[in-house]
Structure 1
Amino acid sequence: MPQTPQSDATGPRPALPAPRTPSPRDAPALKWGVIAPGGIAASFVDALHTYTGQRAVAVGSRDPARARAFAERFDIPAAHGSYAELLADRDVDIVYVASPHSGHFEQALAAIEAGRHVLVEKAFTRNAREAELLVEAARKRDVFLMEAMWTRFLPHMDVVRQVLASGMLGEVHTVTADHGQYMEHDASHRLFAPGLAGGALLDLGVYPLSFASMVLGPFASITAVGTKTATGVDGQASIVVTNASGAHGVLNTTLFARTPTTASISGSLARLEIEGDFYAPAAVRLISREGEVLDTHVPERRAGGLCYEAAEAARCVAAGRLESDLMPLAETLGVMRALDGVRRDLGVVYPGE
C-alpha cells in the first residue's frame, strides 16, 4: 500500500522521480516535409534544427512565395508551391501538418495516401469522424500517425506519469486545468473564423482535456457550459468530466482572458501542482495532504519544447511502430469525441460538418 507523503524526521523525505525522457539529440535523423509554413511551423522547425539532429528538407504552401521565404529563413533545401509537390518529394521521410484545424483532415489524408508518415498538429481534426477516417487510412497504408500534442512528450509530464503509476497520490479524485488567452476580437483571425474551425476549444481547450484524459483515462461523462463569440465560435467553455471510478476533471478554456494556465492532480494522500504554463516545460510540486511542499521538479530548460514530439516520432518510425505509446491513436480519438461533446453542449457547428 502507498504511504502518505509527508515530512517525517524518522524516514526519507518523499521525492519526485527524475524524468526518463531521452535526449532529443539522440533521436534518429529523419527528414521532414512541412505543410503550411505559419507560426507553429516556424516554432517546430526552429526546435527541430536547434535541439535535434533532424532536419526539415522541404516546405509546401499554396503560395509559392511564402514557401520560398520560409525555406530561406530556415535553410530548407526545397520550397514547393503546392502540397502535392511536397508529397511527391522523395527526400521527405515524414510530413508535419501545421495548417489551421479545418485543413488537417484533407492534408493529412493526402500525405497518408502518398505513403508518408504523418505528424498532425493538435487538435487532430475538426471532429471525431475525420479523426477516425485518418486512423483507418493510416492503418490501411501501414504508416505512422500521431497527434502533435507536444505536452505529452515533455520531461515534466514523464514525472507526472511516474507519480501516478507509483500510487504516491493515493486515489485520484480531482484534476484541474485551464488554458485561457486574451484575444482581441477580430472576425478575420482564424481563431474567430467558423470556416477555419476557430474558437477556444480546438486551439486552447484541447490542452486541459488531453491532460485530464492522460490522468483519468477514458471519460464516462462530459458536461459543458460556454459562451460564443460574435462570429459563432466558442469563446469560453467550462467543462466537467468524470471517469469510471467517479473522479472529476474540472477544466476551463477561454479567448476572453489570460488565465493562470495551471494544472493539479489531487488524491487521497497528496497532490501534484504544475505551474503555468502547465502545457509547456514547467515546474511540478509534490504537496502533502497537510499542504507542505515536499519536493519540486524544475525543468532543465524551457525553450524548444516542440523538439520532444519530433524525437518521439523519429524513434517510432525508426522502430517500425505505427503509433506512439505516449499519445496513442485510441486516446486521440477519445479526446476528439470529448471535444465533439463539448461543442454539442455549446451549440457550435463548423461549416460543412
Structure 2
Amino acid sequence: MSTAKTIRWGILATGGIAKTFTKDLLVDPTTRGVKHVKHSVVAAASSSSKSRAEQFLKDVGAPSDAKPYGSYEELVKDSNIDIIYIATPHSHHYQNARLCLEAGKNVLCEKAFTVNAEQARELAKKAKEKDLFLMEAVWTRYFPLSIYVRDLITSGKIGPIARVLADNSMATDPEDAFSDGKHRLVNPDLAGGALLDLGIYSLTWVFQTLYHTQPAESRQPPKVLAALKTYGPTKAADEASTIVLSFPRSDEAGGEAHAVATTSLRVATTPGGKADAPGIRIQGPKGEIQVFPPAFRPTHTRLILKDGTVEDKDWPQPGPGEGSGWYNGFGGGKNAEGEGHGMFWEADEAATALVEGRKEGKYEGLDESILIMEVMDEVRKQGGLTYPEKIETIKYPTQL
C-alpha cells in the first residue's frame, strides 16, 4: 500500500478566504475518502506585518514550526514550499502570481483569476516557460456535486443541453453596507463589482455544464451579448450584469445552445437567505438539472425528467464530524460542527496534479480560465467598465 504524498503549502495573504481555505486544508483527507495525498502548511505571509502572519497560523491550527513572514517576497523564497495559495483580491492576482512564478513556485490562485484576459495569458505563458503548475481556484468545480452534474450531462440523461440559466446574486444594500466605497465589491481599485466577484460563479456553471462537457477538440467560444448596470456612488464598478451567451455546436451535438448568466449586488438569487428555488437550471429535451443556492457552495440538486421522475440529492460537506469541536465557515457564517467548507477539494486536485506531474487543473485548464476572462472582458467592454491602469496592466512589477 503506497503512502500518501505530503504537499507543503505556503499561504499568501491572511484574510477571511485564506483562513477558510487553510482550515479546510488541514483537515485529514481520509475524512473525505482521499488517501493518496496529504497537506501541510509550512508558511504564511501577511503584507502588513509578521505578527499578523503569526496570529493567522495560530488561528488556523497550523503546525508549530510553520514560518510567518511579513512580506510576500520573503514567502516565495522559502525552499520548503511546494505550492503557494494566493488569497488576495483579484486586483492583485497578476502581480502576486507573477511574483510566485518568477520565484519558481507552483500556484493555486483565487478566482477571478486576474482582472483581464491579457493578464491571464501572461501568467499561463510564464508558468509554461518555468514548467510550473498554475490553476485558478474555482473551488466549486471540484465538488462531488459538480462532478455528478457534469456526469449526468455527458451520460445523455436529459439529452443535449439546450439552455442554462445561472444566477449568483445577493441583496447587500451596497450604499449602506459599503458606504465608504472601499469594500472589494464596489472599490474600483480592487476591481470591484458584481461581475468579477459574484458573476464568475454564474459563468462557472455555464461553462462547466455547456462548454467543458463538450469534446475538447470541437468546443468553441461563445458569442456574448451583455448589459451592465454601473454602481452609482463609485461609478467604476458594476452593481448588476446580465450576460447572454450563444455556444456554437454541430447539429449532431444538438446545435446552437444558449445560456443566461446573471449577477447583482442589490437583489438576491433567493430572498431572505432561503435556498428554496434553483439558482442554476440546466435544460435539455429530456428534462433538467437544478442546482440550489448558493451557486458557489451548493449542497442540493434535483433531476426532473420529462416523464415526471424527480430525483433529489443532498451533498453535505465532509469534515472531522460532530463531536470534533472543529468549526469552519466564511464571512461571519459558521458551518455545523465538524463540517468542512469545501475548499479542500480544489487543494486535493492541485496536490494530485503535482504528484502526477500535471501543470494545470483537471476540471478547468488554463485555456478555459483565459476564455472566461475574455468573456468578462467583453462584458465590461459592452458595459463601458474599465479599472485603473495599475490593476489592468501586465507590466511587472507594478506597485499596487
User: Does TM-score exceed 0.5, indicating one fold?
Assistant: yes
1:90-105 to 2 correspondence within 5 Å? Answer: 90-105=79-94
1:290-313 Cα shifts (integer Å, max 9, x gaps):
5x3432222142732000000000
What is the DSSP-based 3-state SS (H/G/I as helix, E as strand, rest coil) of the residue aligned with 2:26?
A: helix
1:75-126 Cα shifts (integer Å, max 9, x gaps):
4321101101000111111000100111100110111111111000000000
Distance 1:342 1:221 in 2: 11
The structure-2 alpha-carbon separation of the partners of 1:189 and 1:300, relative to structure 1 and needing over 3 Å to count, comes to closer
| Contact 1:34/1:41 (8 A) holds in 2 | yes
1:163-182 to 2 correspondence within 5 Å? Answer: 163-182=152-171
| Contact 2:202/2:295 (8 A) holds in 1 | no
Distance 2:148 2:100 in 1: 34
1:30-49 to 2 correspondence within 5 Å? Answer: 30-49=7-26
1:296-344 Cα shifts (integer Å, max 9, x gaps):
2221427320000000000000111101221111100110000101111
Q: Aligned residue for 1:63?
A: 48
Relative to structure 2, which stretch is displaced further, 217-226 or 264-273? 217-226
Q: Aligned residue for 1:317?
A: 354
Deviation at 1:51, TM superposition (A): 4.5
The structure-2 alpha-carbon separation of the partners of 1:27 and 1:283, relative to structure 1 and needing over 3 Å to count, comes to farther
Distance 1:50 1:115 in 2: 27
Aligned Cα root-mean-square deviation (Å): 1.5
The answer to whether structure 1 residue 111 and structure 2 residue 100 are counterparts is yes
| Contact 1:177/1:252 (8 A) holds in 2 | yes
| TM-score of the aligned structures, taking structure 2 as reference length | 0.79
Please, which of 215, 219, 235 is the counterpart of residue 209 of structure 2? 215
4+ residue runs over 3 A deviation: none
Please, which of 44, 69, 72 is the counterpart of residue 58 of structure 2? 72
1:225-268 Cα shifts (integer Å, max 9, x gaps):
12111212011011110100321111110111221371111001
| Contact 2:135/2:366 (8 A) holds in 1 | yes
Q: Aligned residue for 2:269?
A: 259
The structure-2 alpha-carbon separation of the partners of 1:43 and 1:27, relative to structure 1 and needing over 3 Å to count, comes to farther
Unaligned runs of 5+ in 2: 30-37, 212-219, 250-255, 271-277, 318-338, 393-400
Q: Aligned residue for 1:132?
A: 121
| Matched pairs, number | 327
| Contact 1:155/1:281 (8 A) holds in 2 | no
Q: Aligned residue for 1:296?
A: 312
What is the DSSP-based 3-state SS (H/G/I as helix, E as strand, rest coil) of the residue aligned with 2:136?
A: strand
The answer to whether structure 1 residue 235 and structure 2 residue 239 are counterparts is yes
Higher relative contact order (CA 8 A, sep 6+): 1
| Contact 1:156/1:297 (8 A) holds in 2 | no
| Contact 1:224/1:239 (8 A) holds in 2 | yes
The answer to whether structure 1 residue 225 and structure 2 residue 227 are counterparts is yes
* % identity of equivalent residues: 36
Q: Aligned residue for 1:20?
A: none
The answer to whether structure 1 residue 349 and structure 2 residue 386 are counterparts is yes
| TM-score of the aligned structures, taking structure 1 as reference length | 0.89
Unaligned runs of 5+ in 1: 1-25
Distance 1:234 1:314 in 2: 35
Distance 2:137 2:380 in 1: 21
| One-letter amino acid of the structure 2 residue matched with residue 276 of structure 1 | P
| Contact 1:220/1:243 (8 A) holds in 2 | yes
| Contact 1:175/1:212 (8 A) holds in 2 | yes
Q: Aligned residue for 1:197?
A: 191
